[in-house]
């Protein structure tokens, strides 16, 4: 009986090992250039990893639980691949460019003098009250209302304050969403990656060439795409202890925005947005906590 139990245990162990697979490969564009920080997601589990700066990825997954890998990157069409059909050695995934339907704003010098406005609060009005600690794969968006009046405006620069906590030089991705109740329709049409050179500084992201219309306002978000290395990481690693150590960048947080600016967040590799602070949360002076993010825009008056 004892030997039978031992044999059964060995068979279970062998089966578990057989179901575990190391996936290695690269995500590129049509020309074969690696795509930095593209997402490789186990569709059924809502867990994933990012490629490195050259488009390479490595992760360990259980093929009994993983049926489909979703691969996507800003500016490119999403691909879904059946795990059973993937080669056993290196997996090369080429993504095709995604056509953009973004309506641009036409601003000409003939209409008057070019001026610059601020979306949200400028850095002089924002005070560093704390740190925005999130996890690898998470995303946090702030809703910034515009005051452009009858003038058409387009986005120029985004500024994000990065604290001295964590590892300030690690990368994050910038997203811009249309104005609304939630950050649902993204209007960023390319992969915009940024980082700080040191802690306690504002990072400037120039989006003036994107011709993004401001309208009534915008959602601007940061997504944590690196921090502790993307190699030899299991799919479960986005919830593991090394992630909770906040080795990545940590934005500053402030209550200086007041109630109109509301922050939303979503967990690593999930789709649903929730409030960072509940709308009825008790805050000093009725203010909410928001990441220290503001934008500039240009218009003709």
- Number of compact structural domains in the chain: 2
Confidence of residue 16 (pLDDT cuts 50, 70, 90): very low
Q: 204 or 85: which carries more pLDDT confidence?
A: 204
Of 183, 170, 294, the closest CA to residue 224 belongs to: 170
Q: 49 or 244: which carries more pLDDT confidence?
A: 49
Is the same domain home to 70 and 140?
no
Is the same domain home to 267 and 198?
yes
DSSP code, position 182: S
Read off the pLDDT of residues 130-143 as tens digits, 9 standing for 90 and up: 888 877 788 999 99
In the predicted model, what is the mean pLDDT of residues 75-91? Answer: 89
Is the same domain home to 85 and 56?
yes
Q: 207 or 246: which carries more pLDDT confidence?
A: 207
Is the same domain home to 72 and 127?
no
Helix (H) / strand (E) containing 62: strand 56-62
Is the same domain home to 90 and 113?
no
CATH number assigned to the domain comprising residue 51: 2.60.40.1120
Residue range(s) defining the domain that contains residue 40? 2-94
Confidence of residue 227 (pLDDT cuts 50, 70, 90): low
Confidence of residue 161 (pLDDT cuts 50, 70, 90): very high
Q: Which residue, 44, 67, 94, sits at the end of a domain?
A: 94
Does residue 70 contact residue 79 with C-beta atoms inside 8 Å? Answer: yes
Confidence of residue 186 (pLDDT cuts 50, 70, 90): very high
Is the same domain home to 86 and 121?
no
Is the same domain home to 50 and 137?
no
Q: Which residue, 94, 120, 151, sits at the end of a domain?
A: 94
Pair type for strands 68-72 and 79-82: antiparallel
Is the same domain home to 187 and 250?
yes
- Residue 99 included in any domain: no
pTM exceeds 0.75 for this model? yes
SS3 category, 246: coil
Tell me the C-alpha distance between 216 and 187, whole Å. Answer: 14
Lowest model confidence (mean pLDDT) among 20-34, 131-145, 194-208, 234-248 = 234-248
Q: Which residues contact 68 (CB under 8 A, 6 or more apart)?
A: 42, 43, 44, 80, 81, 82, 83
Read off the pLDDT of residues 32-53 as tens digits, 9 standing for 90 and up: 999 999 999 888 777 788 888 8
Confidence of residue 58 (pLDDT cuts 50, 70, 90): confident
Is the same domain home to 75 and 160?
no
Is the same domain home to 199 and 245?
yes
Is the same domain home to 34 and 168?
no
Is the same domain home to 229 and 268?
yes
């Amino acid at each position: 009986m004892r030997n039978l139990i031992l044999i059964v245990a060995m068979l279970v162990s062998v089966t578990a090992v057989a179901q575990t697979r190391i996936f290695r490969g690269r995500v590129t564009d049509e020309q074969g250039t690696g795509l930095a920080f593209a997402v490789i997601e186990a569709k059924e589990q809502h867990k994933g990893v990012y490629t490195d700066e050259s488009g390479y990825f490595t992760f360990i997954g259980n093929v009994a639980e993983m049926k489909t890998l979703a691969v996507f990157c800003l500016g490119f069409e999403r691909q879904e691949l059946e795990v059973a059909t993937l080669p056993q050695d290196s997996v090369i995934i080429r993504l095709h460019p995604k056509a953009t339907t973004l309506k641009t704003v036409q601003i000409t010098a003939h209409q008057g003098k070019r001026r610059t406005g601020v979306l949200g609060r400028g850095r002089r009005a924002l005070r560093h009250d704390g740190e925005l600690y999130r996890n690898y794969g998470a995303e946090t968006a702030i809703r910034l209302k515009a005051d452009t009046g009858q003038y058409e405006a387009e986005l120029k620069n985004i500024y994000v304050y990065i604290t001295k906590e964590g590892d300030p030089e690690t990368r994050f991705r910038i997203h811009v969403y249309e104005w609304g109740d939630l950050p649902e329709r993204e209007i960023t049409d390319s992969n915009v990656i940024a980082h700080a050179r040191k802690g306690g500084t504002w990072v400037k992201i120039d989006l003036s060439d994107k011709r993004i219309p401001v309208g009534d306002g915008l959602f601007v978000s940061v997504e944590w795409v690196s921090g502790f290395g993307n190699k030899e990481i299991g799919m479960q690693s986005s919830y593991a202890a090394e992630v909770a150590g906040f080795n990545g960048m940590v934005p500053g947080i402030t209550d200086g925005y007041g109630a109109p600016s509301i922050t939303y967040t979503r967990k690593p590799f999930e789709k649903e947005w929730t409030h960072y602070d509940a709308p009825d949360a008790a805050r000093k002076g009725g203010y909410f906590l928001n990441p220290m993010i503001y934008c500039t825009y240009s218009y003709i008056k």
